[in-house]
């Protein structure tokens, strides 16, 4: 099984009873190993935000008129977010007025007892959000929205597996028009003949946030595997004991999660509605975290600096593919270019944009050293070594600017998803 980098040995404690059970059940052993790997990947890179801040991150947005990027990344406050606009807030009030809070199961009920009612609650919430957007101006038409018909069903087994891991079985699965295929197996990456059997938004139900997040990370890993070029993968987590819901946004930097929302109370319901309303406002694949220049069979490669013209390059072979959530998730393909490439695309001096290294991005130590020795030649035509020694595979980088999260806006949980007390983001 491929692991992301960096990787440390698991600190997960396994009792002798569990160890013997794993040895006698290879399928379960693979699942337990995968969960431990996921915990190691994200344990010290988890962040918790208030739901309204997470909604702004996920919101469709445009830079403010007086903001110019100038080659640098913009902060969230430099954008106009749809979720801050009056039509969205009016739709949110409409949802809260129309929707009722969740009715929990009696204390002591089995975990699976909450599946049907939670699936119905989530499906109804999405529907009410779409209805509220229909009554406002400025939002995409229903048929143009990315999650036009997002539905949730209970305990549907997944047929395809990732990197020889055992097949997963989410407690609740969300997908577009998924209810019409009741009883049929689903896919992380559905085959062409079954396009409607794809999983879009899995849900995990447990009484422990630590176990829940680790399991949810395995679903995110599968979503990234289905589309390696996506920028984030969304999973929902529901704590049955506390009746609280979290939106878990997995990305290659770790995990960004919403704070807990109690869906048995009006305040928690409003925050869940805010986040679902944000998802319902998505119109494009890019807003849902996908990069559309790639499919498993082809890439669209720009042929001009502006990126307005492209040529399609066929994927001939996948050379390397490291499945992970946090980390680089290296994905290397060999491409075959078409034989009839336009002449303009063959003129690199005209078509290739300004090198990225001139925009302030990192340069490798090898290139920096090469530039240094070539610009400072010694007499006699011989070059002088700088005295720097580099072991195989070692890289050095000059100081770079780092982006930090303001403490008043977001809180790094420092791995408290995985503390024994499940004390996540509570101070």
Last residue of a domain, one of 321, 339, 368: 368
Residue 267 lies in a domain: yes
Both tokens assigned to 406? 């303001």
Is residue 30 situated within a structural domain? no
Residues contacting residue 8 through CB under 8 Å, at least 6 positions apart: 40
Q: Which of 235, 270, 291 is the last residue of a domain?
A: 291
Shared domain check, 242 and 131: yes
What is the predicted pLDDT for the residue at 270? 96
347 is a domain residue: yes
Distance (Å) of CA 286 to CA 60, 137, 292, 311, 363: 10, 22, 7, 20, 28
Are 153 and 80 in the same domain?
A: yes
- Based on the fold, state whether residues 276 and 314 are members of the same structural domain: no
Do 74 and 209 sit in the same domain of this protein?
Answer: yes
Amino acid 306: pLDDT: 72
Q: Pick from 291, 320, 346: which residue ends a domain?
A: 291
Residue numbers of the domain that contains 314 = 298-368
Please indicate, yes or no, whether residues 206 and 324 belong to a single structural domain of this protein: no
- For residue 20, tell me if it sits in a domain: no
CB atoms within 10 A of CB 25: 13
What pLDDT shows up at residue 410? 46
User: How many structural domains is the chain composed of?
Assistant: 2
pLDDT the model gives residue 40? 79
Residue 411 lies in a domain: no
How many C-beta atoms lie closer than 10 Å to residue 427's C-beta? 4
The verdict on 310 and 268 lying in the same domain is no
Q: What are phi and psi of 321, to 5 degrees?
A: -150, 105
Both 208 and 341 in one domain: the answer is no
63 within a domain of the structure (yes/no): yes
What are the helix (H) ranges across 227-364?
266-280, 348-351
How far apart, in whole angstroms, are the C-alpha atoms of residue 237 and residue 392? 43
Residues 221, 345 share a domain: no
37: three-class secondary structure by DSSP: helix
Query: Helices 115-134 & 86-98, crossing angle to 10 degrees?
Result: 140
> Cα 149–198–29 angle (5° rounding)?
135
298 vs 237: CA distance, rounded Å: 34
230 lies in the same domain as 302: no
Is the CA virtual torsion 212, 218, 223, 228 positive or negative? positive
* 283 in the same domain as 363: no
Residue 171 lies in a domain: yes
State whether 173 and 284 are in the same domain: yes
Q: Note whether 326 and 251 are same-domain residues.
A: no
Give a yes or no: residue 399 inside a domain: no
- How far apart CA 78 and CA 63 sit, in angstroms, is 6
Please report, in tens digits, the pLDDT of each residue of the chain (427 residues total): 333 333 333 334 333 333 344 344 555 547 778 788 788 788 778 889 999 999 999 999 998 888 876 667 788 999 999 999 999 999 999 999 998 889 888 888 888 899 999 999 999 999 999 999 999 998 999 999 999 889 999 977 787 777 767 778 899 999 888 877 777 888 888 888 887 788 999 999 999 898 899 999 999 998 988 888 889 999 999 999 999 999 999 998 899 999 999 999 999 999 999 999 999 999 999 999 988 887 778 888 877 777 778 888 888 888 877 777 877 767 788 888 887 776 655 554 344 444 443 344 444 455 455 555 544 444 444 333 333 333 333 333 333 332 223 333 445 444 445 443 344 433 3
Three-state secondary-structure class, residue 259: coil
How high is the pLDDT of residue 394? 31
> What does pTM read for this prediction?
0.73
């Amino acid at each position: 099984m491929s692991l992301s980098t960096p990787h440390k040995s698991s600190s997960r404690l396994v009792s002798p009873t569990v160890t013997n059970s794993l040895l006698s059940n290879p399928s379960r052993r693979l699942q337990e190993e995968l969960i431990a790997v996921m915990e190691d990947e994200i344990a010290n890179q988890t962040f918790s935000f208030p739901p309204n801040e997470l909604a702004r991150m996920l919101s469709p947005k445009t830079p403010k008129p007086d903001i110019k990027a100038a080659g640098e990344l913009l902060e969230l406050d430099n954008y106009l977010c749809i979720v801050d606009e009056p039509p969205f807030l009016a739709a949110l009030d409409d949802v809260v007025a129309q929707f009722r809070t969740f009715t929990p199961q009696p204390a002591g009920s089995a975990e699976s007892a909450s599946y049907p009612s939670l699936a119905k609650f989530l499906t109804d919430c999405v529907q009410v959000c779409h209805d509220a957007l229909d009554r406002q101006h400025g939002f995409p038409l229903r048929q143009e929205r990315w999650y036009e018909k997002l539905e949730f069903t209970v305990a549907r087994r997944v047929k395809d597996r990732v990197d020889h891991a055992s097949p997963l079985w989410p407690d609740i699965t969300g997908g577009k028009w998924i209810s019409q295929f009741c009883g049929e197996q689903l896919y992380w990456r559905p085959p062409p003949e079954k396009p409607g059997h794809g999983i879009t938004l899995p849900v995990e139900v447990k009484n422990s946030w630590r176990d829940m997040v680790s399991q949810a990370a395995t679903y995110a890993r599968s979503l990234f595997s289905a589309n390696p070029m996506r920028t984030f993968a969304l999973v929902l987590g529901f704590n049955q004991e506390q009746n609280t819901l979290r939106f878990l946004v997995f990305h290659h930097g770790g995990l960004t999660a919403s704070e807990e929302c109690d869906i048995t109370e009006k305040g928690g319901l409003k925050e869940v509605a805010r986040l679902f309303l944000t998802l319902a406002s998505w119109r494009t694949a890019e807003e849902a975290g996908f990069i559309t220049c790639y499919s498993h069979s082809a890439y669209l490669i720009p042929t001009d600096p502006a990126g307005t013209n492209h040529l399609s390059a066929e994927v001939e072979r996948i050379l390397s593919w490291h499945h992970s959530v946090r980390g680089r998730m290296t994905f290397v393909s060999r491409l075959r270019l078409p034989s009839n490439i336009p002449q303009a695309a063959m003129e690199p001096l005209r078509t290739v944009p300004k090198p990225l290294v001139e925009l302030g991005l990192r340069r490798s130590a090898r290139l920096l050293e090469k530039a240094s020795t070539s610009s400072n030649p010694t007499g006699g035509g011989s070059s002088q070594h700088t005295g720097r020694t580099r072991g195989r595979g070692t890289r050095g980088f000059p100081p770079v600017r780092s982006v930090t999260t303001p403490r008043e806006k977001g809180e790094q949980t420092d791995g408290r998803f995985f503390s024994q007390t499940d004390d996540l983001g509570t101070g």
